[in-house]
Structure 1
Amino acid sequence: MKLKIMTFGIAVASALSMPVLADMGASAQEMPVLERGTSDTQIMGPQPDRYQINIDQPTTLRVSSMHFSGVSSQGVTIKATLYDDDGNRLAEASSPRGHFQISRQLEPGNYQLEVSGTPAGSGHENASNRYELHVTY
């Protein structure tokens, strides 16, 4: 009887977890598009965040990171790297105080921005590990 209950429990757990795993794989392959304005709040983690930027005419791209008002970003290292569609590094900026700013003249095309950093404190719940991106082009 215990074997049947265990088998049933494993089957139910497997069935429920399959859609979640499939969804995680799909979202990992699709890079979020970074639009003009202020991004949603992001959390710095152990893996870099990557964003797609689509430029349709010659322009100057400006991207900066900000933390919540009243939250110290002291000791939070954040770094951004801008790549062209071929993976060539075009610009890089970093700061040990949690804020970066990139400004680069770009031609029409697809670009990627990679944001990485060293979170402060322990875990992702620390408010200083949260950032927003401000984008103009």
Structure 2
Amino acid sequence: MKIRLTSVFVDDQDRALRFYTEILGFVKKHDVPLGGQHRWLTVVSPDEPGGTELLLEPAGHPAVGPYRDALAKDGIPLAQFAVDDVNAQYQRLRGLGVRFTQEPLEMGPVTTAVFDDTCGNLIQIAAQQQ
């Protein structure tokens, strides 16, 4: 069994695509119209183009708003991405105007930071200490 796809709910797929590609550095993999304004829109890591895809899923379902609001209110990230160096990514992303809700924090063997993806989600980046 493998994880091939996971998703984040986004308020605006175009804005999400710009943020996840131009700011975070992911690469668009699929962009398939689904009728109306929605599409099957996925991104992948440029280091693993055949790896796990992240679906930028429209947040239109009525349960999404209360769910994301509750997570954000409690400071809980919706997703986590692995990075080699949290401090370096923190500096790079802050330089691009990304708003962090948690600065880099060492927690034993892991360092994490949390940012707002501008699309309704908190995202955590994490690096395991070697």
- TM-score category, normalised to shorter length: under 0.3
The structure whose Rg is larger is 1
